[in-house]
Structure 1
Amino acid sequence: MGSIKIKNIKVFAYHGCLDEEGKIGSDYRVDLKVKGDLSLSAKTDALKDTIDYVHLNKIVKEEMAIRSKLLENVAERILNRVLDELLIVQKATVDVSKINPPIGGNVKMVTVRRSKSR
């Protein structure tokens, strides 16, 4: 089994429970790690036989564009799409982080980690 990791996907989105968060928006960071059998692609050197990180990035961007109150919700949607659309993926972990959340203090990031395995 091999893995593909995409770190630090930067997205501007409008997630949060506060009305202001839906109007002002915030910066987010998404890290995605997926695992699957990459032995065929190692032999064929063909994109169709591997986990396409461009497709992964597209899923992240599209799901982050849909407003959610909770980061758990958007993380779950990302995981569901990855597992549904990329059949070679057997396990996936996503971290969705809100940069500078509106909770006061010296908080740089709040992260929700969701993991699923088939």
Structure 2
Amino acid sequence: MHSIHLKNIRVFTNHGCLTEEEKIGSDYLVNLRIEANLSPAAKSDSLNDTVDYVHLNTIVIEEMQKRSKLLEQVGQRIINRVLRELDKVQFVEVSVSKINPPIGGDVAEVIVTMTERRE
């Protein structure tokens, strides 16, 4: 199995449980890793034989724009879409990071990481 990584996709949006988070919004970073058999693409040099990382990025951006209270819900939505829309993907790992979370301390970011394997 091979992998494709999208690192530090920066998105400004308004997730969170607090009313202020909904109104003000904040910065998030998303890291996405998928596993798939990339050998056909290595031989053919054809986009049709790989997992298009533009499609992966589009999924992340679109799902991040839908408001949720919890990062867990956003992460699961990203996983669900990747597995639903991209048949070649066998495994997905997504990390959603809230930068400078409002938790009353000096915390750089809170990260939720979720994984799922195609059955």
Percent sequence identity is: 62
Partner residue in 2 for 1:42: 42
User: d(CA) in 1 for partners of 2:13 and 2:76?
Assistant: 16
SS at the partner of 2:90? strand
User: d(CA) in 1 for partners of 2:14 and 2:105?
Assistant: 21
Structure 1 residue 14: Cα displacement: 0.5
User: d(CA) in 1 for partners of 2:3 and 2:70?
Assistant: 27
Question: Which structure 2 residues correspond to residues 1-118 of structure 1 after superposition, within 5 A?
Answer: 1-118=1-118
SS at the partner of 2:74? helix
User: d(CA) in 1 for partners of 2:8 and 2:80?
Assistant: 20
SS at the partner of 1:63? helix
The one-letter amino acid paired with 2:107 is V
User: d(CA) in 2 for partners of 1:2 and 1:105?
Assistant: 39
Q: CA RMSD in A?
A: 0.5
Structure 1 residue 105: Cα displacement: 1.2
SS at the partner of 1:89? coil
TM-score (norm 2): 0.98
Q: Deviations over 1:33-73 (max 9, x none)?
A: 00001111111100011011100000000000000000000
User: d(CA) in 2 for partners of 1:101 and 1:93?
Assistant: 22
Structure 1 residue 9: Cα displacement: 0.3
Structure 1 residue 84: Cα displacement: 0.7
The count of aligned residue pairs is: 118
Unaligned runs of 5+ in 1: none
SS at the partner of 2:4? strand
Unaligned runs of 5+ in 2: none
The one-letter amino acid paired with 1:7 is K
Segments ≥4 residues shifted beyond 4 Å: none
User: d(CA) in 1 for partners of 2:74 and 2:46?
Assistant: 31
